[in-house]
Structure 1
Amino acid sequence: MRRQFDDVLLGSIELFCLAAEIGSFTGAALAAGVTPAAVSRSVSRLEARLGVRLFVRTTRSIRLTEGGLAYHQQCRGALNQMLEAERELMGQQQTPSGTLRISIPTTYGHHRILPLLPEFRRQYPQVQVDIHLGNRNIDFVDEGYDMAIRVRAQPDSGLIARHLEDAALVVVATPDYLARAGTPQHLDDLVQHECIQFELPSSGRRIAWLFNDGGRPCEILTQGAYVCSDDVLGGVTLAKHGAGLFQAYRFTIERELAEGSLVEVLQPYGGRSRPFTLLYPHGRHVPLRLRAFIDFLMDKQKGWGQVRVA
């Protein structure tokens, strides 16, 4: 079989990735121990092979083109997989090491995952953790993530899902707000109240509040002058400062409830929750650092709620 990649081409791909990540041919040359001219020739060789420009060059800077950005993401992923395979074969992965890239919703990140990371790194000091805090859906392949945590994860045959917990929901407000506006006793009372809204960034749809009414689950679209998107903790902060009612995850406000700075209302209609799920790609080599983190997290979450494995 004819070779598709020779040593020169593989070296050119490595230099291209270095230049893309450092943002400079000179910087890439210094990192690789070659001349800037060698980096420039390598990039030109790739552009000639591919028939596209990979960089927009000026006298002072370089910038990836759209095609260059896509090519870099694929090349860096391939190089990283080659490195992982080499390390494992040579026995260098006896202890977890390298960079773990994870994507977590802001709420879950601040209250569940980030507080655990120092302990994880004390156990595995050779692992660096790159954290994306946000609620948008990420692309594991194109963006190079090892793992994500999501609410209401959609079925995907390319992903392995591990259930973390069913996070309890509660409606809360400050004692000051309730003294001004009254305490709602029934679900119908919500129309008389300022209900802080959360809007899904992916769809622009406002999230319905979840309740049990007479033993039956129901959803209510509330109304209010405050709308937060992307970060649910914005709604918690507004509620803590007397802006109105907000349906929040109990784990985000446990201290405030214990202190009395927030008060739970509509308790007879409570008991609803939303699931949080750990996701990682199926059908590829799982780095030891990811396996270590999953085991660590699944052990820690035993106190968060009922464990289910999907």
Structure 2
Amino acid sequence: MRDAFQTVFDAKQKTRLDSILTEYAHPKTDFDQFTVINMYQINERINELETLICHNDFNEIMRKGHAKALQHLPTRIHQLKPTFKKFYFLAWDFECRAWSNGIYLDINGASLNGREDMINLIGHELHHHYMGALIQDRYHHDTKDAAVITLYYLQQEGTADLINKQKMPVDNLGGYGPEIVKMYNDDYFSSPEVLKQLDELTTSYLAGQISEKEYEKVKQCAHFGGHTTGSYMVFLIRDQLGLQAAIDCFADFSAFVHRYNEAARKAGTYVFSDTFVKHVDNVCQTMEQE
């Protein structure tokens, strides 16, 4: 953060700043440099951002984002009464994060596409927060199983993406440039191959053909933090079985896999093997035991 701030606001670093701006959106751009890009955009938009902060009813924005989150969660969330976390609008990088002590959004990235997109983004992050209550209610034990942990990230991001992406491929990704958007969309379309890799690594481990360390590579199937392939799975369920089918299986990894397979068969795309499905079922049953 210090480096990005100094690069933008220290006149002595103008040459470096110009170089980074020239490389902006190039596929080889280091993601750390997007923090510099963000600081640059904040400086360019400072008056607009000040107006946004001073002349918007953030209570109303938060209320609408909260409603969006609840619309995309199983109805039992209402009985669990999860606590509402604090929100912080900061100047840092283009990403938003739902952490245990609050939800953090970059003011520039959150505001680039207008008020409605900001509401949807808040709904997305709140959706992550509420997942914890649903997980704790269903599962009484944690797991170290790499495949189920990967499914956690895929379902978490894919379901929340129903709120603020809604369709794939995407046209933009906030402040990220067109080459990053292309990388993201290309990865989305490669999801069947990624799911096949997830399946084959798991079944190879169960057959004793690879080590536990090699099995941990399954987690690498959650590309972009789980967004691309997660959206592929969840959106496929939505499109083939209906939106409610995608929502009702949220935070139930066994049901998630079964519904994905049902949707995949209808769509004629990759279907998880029986061995993989049985493994997920067994791990989830162990997690559910009192």
Report the TM range for the smaller structure's normalisation: under 0.3
Q: Which has the larger radius of gyration?
A: 1
Write 1 or 2 for the structure with the bigger share of strand. Answer: 1
TM-score normalised to the size of structure 2? 0.27
Write 1 or 2 for the structure with the bigger share of helix. Answer: 2
